[in-house]
Amino acid sequence: MRVGILSLIHESNTFIVTPTTIDMFRRDALLTGARMADAFRGGHHEISGFLKGLEETGIEAVALFYASTPPSGTITRATCEELVRLMMDEFDRHGPFDGMLTAPHGANAGEGPEYRDLDGHWLTRLREKAGPDMPIVCTIDPHANLSPRMVTACNATIAYRTTPHLDQKARGLEAARLLASMLRGEVRPTQAAAFPSVAIGIERQLTSAPPCLPLHQRADAWLEKPGVLSNSITLGFPYADVEEIGSAFIAVTDNDPVLARQIVDDLAGYLVEHRHEFVGEFTSIEKAVDRAVARPGPVCLLDMGDNVGGGSAADGTLIAHELYRRKIKGFVCLYDPESVRAATEAGVGSRLTLAMGGKTDDLHGPPLIAEVQVRSLHDGHFTESEVRHGGGKVFNMGPTAVVVTDSGLTVSLTSLRTVPVSLGLMTSCGLSPDDFQVVIAKGVHAPVPAYRPVCTELIRVDTPGATTADMRRFTYRHRRHPMFPFEEIP
């Protein structure tokens, strides 16, 4: 038997002015065939799980197409068309197949009404090509804005169960084993989904703590019931103005649609009943810094408004300005290719005045203008051996310059936007969290596995920006009405 593998992974923040283009995918990851298989074999990604799971069951895995670029703005129409064309060409070129494993993100959003639900679009195209009888199993990110089209196109849909996402490989293995059971005729999956009118802010999406933890424990309890093959919770991606924005629930049972519906209705009902617990808590910059300096360091301040993992600019300066003003020994990483070039030209040990960060837009604070000394220069490449959010092992910040201000603030200036899921962001440049009282990480939950073991406290900071934690600050044109927390619901 032969099973094809397709994947398109991007979190599309539609509130960002800079669009996402095909060149960005080509720069970061646009892989087919052996290059795709080699990139994921032995890794921590769900595609790694696909490959391992199919190998275990003696089914030939045919790696077809993978495209990804870090979270950024809406995907242009031309890029959507090109990505879907490339995917379908690979499917046509290497078929026929007995089944398909697919890994959309669930928050891919493109220009125009036909591409706002890009995942639903390409999965529907795949179903049309594959025909009604070919089994298709899909894995998605719990930050997916799940659509009915996505569910209809697949026989079974499985979301990661953790945020931060540390179980991607496990879910890939689960999907591959389920597909193998289908191909052997051992199970006949039936699927149901529920879409309550509740959107969950990013600050409330940590699955290991309330309010998410009791909800996930309730879902886990359903897995013990005979006939339940899988269930999933999608918490939603708040930074996409699409019709599907919000939470959703999926259940997959063995030929028991009534049970699948019972499960998703139970989970959706729990969320609606407890919806006020999912609104969030918001700590100002000043109060967060006060807390950070009142206890032993290092303390990690999570910059939610400049959350790189949500597509933000990565050059937000608002917390850095506060540390600089108070002369607190701290660390921040800023995306700023212009300052990298200036520091590189000046050379290690040189002193110069830089306007750092705050260049992408006017949402995340003005540039931090300071006289600095160039401490070190780096190529920006590093690897991560531990399982981290996103399943990645190899990272590239681009040419990087580390500079130090006289006030005690150390700034790592990078040429590429980098999600801070690994301490390699610091250690690859000869820095350690222990060197600082305060470490700024531009994220909400993704940095937690790396930073929690080395920091005395993690504080989520309510900063403004393209990923501000209070989703009620955004203006949505396409969402459902009424929807909590924007409006009250019955």
In the predicted model, what is the mean pLDDT of residues 110-130? 97
Q: How confident is the model at residue 277 (pLDDT cuts 50, 70, 90)?
A: very high
Alpha carbon distances (Å) from 83 to 30, 108, 148, 149, 153: 9, 12, 22, 19, 18
Exposed/middle/buried for residue 448 (C-beta within 10 Å: 0-12, 13-18, 19+): buried
In the predicted model, what is the mean pLDDT of residues 17-46? 95
Could you report the per-residue pLDDT of 328-347, keeping only the tens digit for each? 999 999 999 999 999 999 99
Could you report the per-residue pLDDT of 215-224, keeping only the tens digit for each? 999 999 999 9
Confidence (pLDDT) at 391: 82
In the predicted model, what is the mean pLDDT of residues 7-14? 97
Tell me which residue of 211, 413, 391 sits closest to 309, measured CA to CA: 391
> Do residues 277 and 213 lie in contact, with contact meaning Cβ atoms separated by under 8 Å?
no
Confidence (pLDDT) at 281: 87
Strand 394-396 versus strand 381-383 pairing type: antiparallel
Confidence (pLDDT) at 225: 97
Question: What is the C-alpha radius of gyration for the chain, rounded to an integer number of angstroms?
Answer: 22
Contacts of 360 (CB under 8 A, 6+ apart): 18, 313, 314, 315, 335
Could you report the per-residue pLDDT of 135-186, keeping only the tens digit for each? 999 999 999 999 999 999 999 999 999 999 999 999 999 999 999 999 999 9
The answer, yes or no, to whether residue 44 has pLDDT greater than 90, is: yes
Confidence (pLDDT) at 393: 85
Q: Which residue would you say has higher pLDDT here, 450 or 490?
A: 450
Helical ranges in 184-295 per DSSP H? 212-222, 257-273, 285-293
| DSSP letter string, 285-346 | HHHHHHHHHTSSS-EEEEEGGG-GGGT--S---HHHHHHHHHT--EEEEEE-HHHHHHHHHH
Q: Indicate the average pLDDT of the chain.
A: 97
Which amino acid is present at 373? Q
Q: How confident is the model at residue 490 (pLDDT cuts 50, 70, 90)?
A: confident
Could you report the per-residue pLDDT of 183-237, keeping only the tens digit for each? 999 999 999 999 999 999 999 999 999 999 999 999 999 999 999 999 999 999 9
Phi, psi of 93 (to 5 degrees): -70, -35
The answer, yes or no, to whether residue 390 has pLDDT greater than 90, is: no
Contacts of 152 (CB under 8 A, 6+ apart): 124, 127
Instruction: Tell me how many degrees the CA angle 29-35-37 measures, rounded to the nearest 5.
Output: 100
Q: How confident is the model at residue 279 (pLDDT cuts 50, 70, 90)?
A: very high
> How many other CB atoms are there within 10 angstroms of residue 83's CB atom?
23
> Do residues 183 and 98 lie in contact, with contact meaning Cβ atoms separated by under 8 Å?
yes
Exposed/middle/buried for residue 193 (C-beta within 10 Å: 0-12, 13-18, 19+): buried
205-223 b/e (C-beta count within 10 Å ≥ 16 → b): bbbeeebbeebbebbeebe
> How many other CB atoms are there within 10 angstroms of residue 350's CB atom?
13
CA terminus-to-terminus distance, the chain: 49
The answer, yes or no, to whether residue 385 has pLDDT greater than 90, is: no
Residue 27's H or E segment, with its range, is helix 22-28
Could you report the per-residue pLDDT of 280-324, keeping only the tens digit for each? 889 999 999 999 999 999 999 999 999 999 999 999 999 999 999
Could you report the per-residue pLDDT of 76-91, keeping only the tens digit for each? 999 999 999 999 999 9
